[in-house]
Chains A and B, each alone.
Chain A
Amino acid sequence: MTWLNTLRSAGRARFAELGFPKVRQEDWRFTNLGALERTLFLPASPASALVAVDALPSVTPSHRLVFVNGGFRADLSAASERPDGVIIGSLAAVMASHPALVEAHLGQRADDAGHGPLALNTAHLADGAVLYVPKGVYLDKPVELVMIGAGGHEPLSWHPRLLVVLEERAGATLIEHHFSLGDGAATFSNGVSEITLGTGARLRHYKAQRENAAAFHLSTLSGRLEHDACYEGFLLTLGARLSRNEVRLVLAGPGAEAKLSGAYLLRGEQLGDTTTVIDHASPRCTSQQLFKGVIDDKAQGVFQGKVLVRPNAQKTDARQLSRALLLSDDARIDAKPELEIHADDVKCSHGATAGDLDEDAMFYLRARGIDRDGARALLIGAYVNEAIAEISSEPVREAFEALADHWLRS
């Protein structure tokens, strides 16, 4: 396919020009990719690693696509019945079966210039996942993407691309699990997601990342919401040595709504970066963000959240709250919430806090006979669950609570 080759070579050229971002770039001032850049990664070949199907996480009966080191594994995936016109499949397969659809959407959302990792993903574009839901169809079973990293003796990298298109009034739920099988050499997962929501479409998109301590995880999501479309997103970050979730949503049609939340639980020498840009480009849109971090040992949390309100986006309602809990003397948090507002009839606010557990609450629990560790676990658990409570899908909420709880108790 010539258009695909053109896209790839454009990505290669752009990456050659940009390279990996440096800390002197404003968007990357807190996240140093030096260690990533110094590692020589080999492109992962379609992995033949043995993965037991029952080792896979599953929330509910679902359409499941499994990828190992970025390559699609049909043997592990479960295709189930789907309504007419719905397309769920690996990018490579859908490119073969529906080339026009893929050509029309690929690279449309994520063509922002000036972003090195994104260009690198485009340069290596080969596989990934596609979810297409036609007009008026509501997909009741969630779609699960299981992204497994199986490190070998050499550092490996992969660059999956996720394409989601929901036509007018379509609806779907998408769950992403990212985890590693065992330990091994460093891995680098550099994913890009492109999401298009038509008029009145609704997408629920939940992601849990718990890769191992040798993993680098970069993820760039770019979405566009038309008139009255609604995006609900949640990012649970537990793993990886260095991770960054970058989410850019354009509220392009009037009345569009974005709800974006997340929790990052970091320990050891992990760095977890959450960067969001909500672009209010149309009137009467709302955005709500809640992010909570728990940072222990020598870990570093980064939160950068920008809300942009364009000149015509009157009646915008944008809220954002970022909170960080520092549990050790060497833990650190860098937060940069940002408002850029060019319209006057708006309500915009952000808040950011950083600190240790509330001494009064600790005392309250200790006074009731709960030991120090128990009281801490209780308070941290409640603090994290407040963010997870934003997830509207009950089975996902319970599954994510269990993951966070497991992290707290380990």
Chain B
Amino acid sequence: MSPAPDTADTLDQVKSFTDQKYKYGFVTDIEADTAPKGLNEDTIRFISAKKQEPDWLLEWRLKAFRHWLTMEEPKWARVHYPPIDYQDAHYYSAPKNTPLKKSLDEVDPELLRTYEKLGIPLKEQELLAGVEPTIAVDAVFDSVSVATTFKAKLHEKGIIFCPISEAVHNHPELVRKYLGSVVPYSDNYFATLNSAVFTDGSFVYIPKGVRCPMELSTYFRINAANTGQFERTLIIADEGSYVSYLEGCTAPKRDENQLHAAVVELVTHDNAQIKYSTVQNWYPGDENGVGGIYNFVTKRGACRGVNSKISWTQVETGSAITWKYPSCILQGDNSVGEFYSVAITNNYQQADTGTKMIHIGRNTRSTIVAKGISAGRAQSTYRGQVKILPKAVGARNHTQCDSLLIGDKCGAHTVPYIESRNKSAKIEHEATTAKISEEQLFYCRQRGLTPEDAVSLIVNGFCREVLKELPMEFAVEAQKLVGISLEGSVG
């Protein structure tokens, strides 16, 4: 029996990366314009001035910063790390010579080469004549967006897809209306920090009744050392619209930990739908747990309109620490929230991730499928909340959390909170934990697969329910990642 083509591909990839586990670990040598180290009101004024922001936004940032000073870093997640010195980092770093209004031709060739190396197409003209483009990319390099493709083509349909710093200038009414409306500046420690110092990120607005003709994508790259990345993404789907949005991220190999604290806000109006997919592949640290990104992210979507839908799909393979709970607030009647997650931790990685589904409207539905895989000395936690408020008549939730353990030094934990205030609501939660079955391994070994190939095959099968939710381009990449992330976990 020969494995299915994509599985065979995975197996090949696993082999080809044996010596080069994290292939995105290179550094781009580029002159950068960097804020002095430290975090104070001057830093914020510096960032705001760099972006030539209006006063209201600066005030909002300062309000967030003053609030942040009164907050304490959360300690409830099952992650351990030495105290972070917030003064010992740069809060702004941008490649020099990036004009604010740029066309693709003006982008520094060194940057274009970087993205080419990362496998991200930043050139529109490379497409074959007559072939419709399937993906538009906003490339964020450290603190700024360096290029956005297919802006003009999207503009024809009335779609706005641009860096958020540009949206502040060109569409202030939209930004002002929605920024902080889902994740308020006072939300939590890391979201508040982000509100104070966010530098760039993507802004998407899909007008009424428009189905976005291509996938929109943001690629986040941390390059500079001793820099935190604080991006902010805001996506609004107006009545009856649809968009599929992808997010990818990588960072160089470094021995120091770097902080990444992003905020993503999604809003769907009546009958609108947002599909948000992430393949998170920040540098995870080496096999001794040195280095890696601290990924403390707040993602939340509000289904404001009736029949609207927000779907989160995430494949979390990178980062030394992941602290992330993409959530849905189901306000509109009949609105739908989905969360599909694969979290793979190996070596000394720690992941505390899950979701919140807050059912407010009638007949709101949510589905949660979370798969956690722990290997080496990693700790992986699913932490989720399903809350049914009294008015959510007929609400429905189904949750499935499965954990797979590889090796006896790792841990897998499940912490769901289930709170129902409505008798007509139906909630089901199931969780299982097991190791890779000896029988399955034996079966694969018997057919000539090496232990590593067998594990990769079985894990891919374990994650299938989630991986199939990803857009095609991402699904292939994610399958490869699953194999690579587990390198060296057996034997």
Contacts and interface: CB of A to CB of B under 8 A. Distances in A.
Interface of A: 26, 311, 314, 324, 326-356
B128 to A, nearest CB: 49
Contacts of A331: 423
A324 B420 CA distance: 10
A350 B427 contact: no
Interface string B386-424: 001010000000000001011111111111111111111
A329 B390 contact: yes
B432 interface: yes
Q: Which of A26, A339, A342, A356 counts the most chain B CB atoms within 10 A?
A: A339
A310 B247 CA distance: 37
Q: Which of B406, B407, B411 counts the most chain A CB atoms within 10 A?
A: B411
A404 B105 CA distance: 78
Q: Top 7 A-B pairs ranked by shortest CB distance?
A: A326-B423, A344-B405, A355-B426, A339-B414, A335-B418, A352-B429, A348-B433
19 contacts: A311-B408, A314-B408, A334-B417, A335-B417, A337-B429, A337-B431, A342-B410, A347-B433, A349-B430, A349-B431, A349-B432, A351-B430, A351-B431, A352-B427, A352-B428, A353-B426, A354-B418, A354-B427, A355-B427
Nearest to A351: B430
B421 A332 contact: yes
Contact of A351 (B409, B424, B429): B429
B405 A337 contact: no
B420 A326 contact: yes
Contacts of B416: 335-338, 352
Contacts of A345: 408, 435
Contacts of A342: 410-411
A347 B403 CA distance: 10
A145 B100 CA distance: 80
Q: Which of A328, A333, A337, A341 counts the most chain B CB atoms within 10 A?
A: A341
A106 to B, nearest CB: 34
Given A326-B423, A329-B390, A349-B432, A344 B418 contact: no
A348 B413 CA distance: 11
Given A341-B412, A352-B429, A356-B423, A336 B418 contact: yes
B76 interface: yes
Given A349-B430, A353-B429, A355-B427, A338 B412 contact: no
Contacts of B406: 344
Contacts of B417: 334-336
B434 interface: yes
Tier of interface size on chain B:
35 or more
A347 B422 CA distance: 33
Given A346-B433, A348-B433, 16 more contacts: A314-B408, A329-B390, A332-B421, A334-B420, A336-B416, A336-B417, A337-B431, A338-B415, A344-B408, A344-B410, A347-B433, A349-B430, A350-B431, A353-B428, A354-B425, A355-B426
Contacts, number: 116
Interface of B: 76, 388, 390, 403, 405-435
Contacts of B423: 326-329, 331, 355-356
Nearest to B381: A340
A348 B428 contact: no
B401 to A, nearest CB: 9
Contacts of A346: 405, 433-435
Which DSSP category, helix, strand, loop or mixed, fits chain B's interface? strand
Contact of B419 (A26, A314, A334): A334
Nearest to B418: A335
B375 to A, nearest CB: 9
Contacts of B411: 340-342
A336 B431 CA distance: 12
B427 A332 contact: no
A344 B407 contact: yes
Contacts of A334: 417-420
Contact of A350 (B414, B419, B421): B414
B372 to A, nearest CB: 10
Given A339-B433, A346-B435, A349-B433, A354 B408 contact: no
B12 to A, nearest CB: 28
Nearest to A325: B423
Nearest to B388: A354
B432 A348 contact: yes
A326 B422 contact: yes
A370 B417 CA distance: 37
Contacts of A349: 430-433
Contacts of B424: 355-356
Contact of A332 (B403, B405, B419, B432): B419
B420 A354 contact: yes
Contacts of A327: 423
A331 B424 CA distance: 11
Contacts of A353: 426-429
Contacts of A351: 428-431
Nearest to A342: B411
Nearest to B397: A354
Contacts of B390: 329-330
A284 B419 CA distance: 33
Contacts of A347: 432-434
Contacts of B432: 347-349
A369 B430 CA distance: 36
Contacts of B431: 337, 339, 349-351
A334 B403 CA distance: 23
A324 B403 CA distance: 25
Given A332-B420, A349-B432, A338 B414 contact: yes
A338 B413 CA distance: 7
Given A332-B419, A334-B418, A337-B416, A26 B76 contact: yes
B422 A336 contact: no
A349 B402 CA distance: 9
A331 B421 CA distance: 6
A337 B435 CA distance: 20
A335 B414 CA distance: 13
A336 B415 contact: yes
A351 B427 CA distance: 10
A333 B413 contact: no
Contacts of A356: 423-424, 426
Nearest to A352: B429
A328 B421 CA distance: 9
Contacts of B425: 326, 354-355
A349 B416 CA distance: 13
A348 B424 CA distance: 30
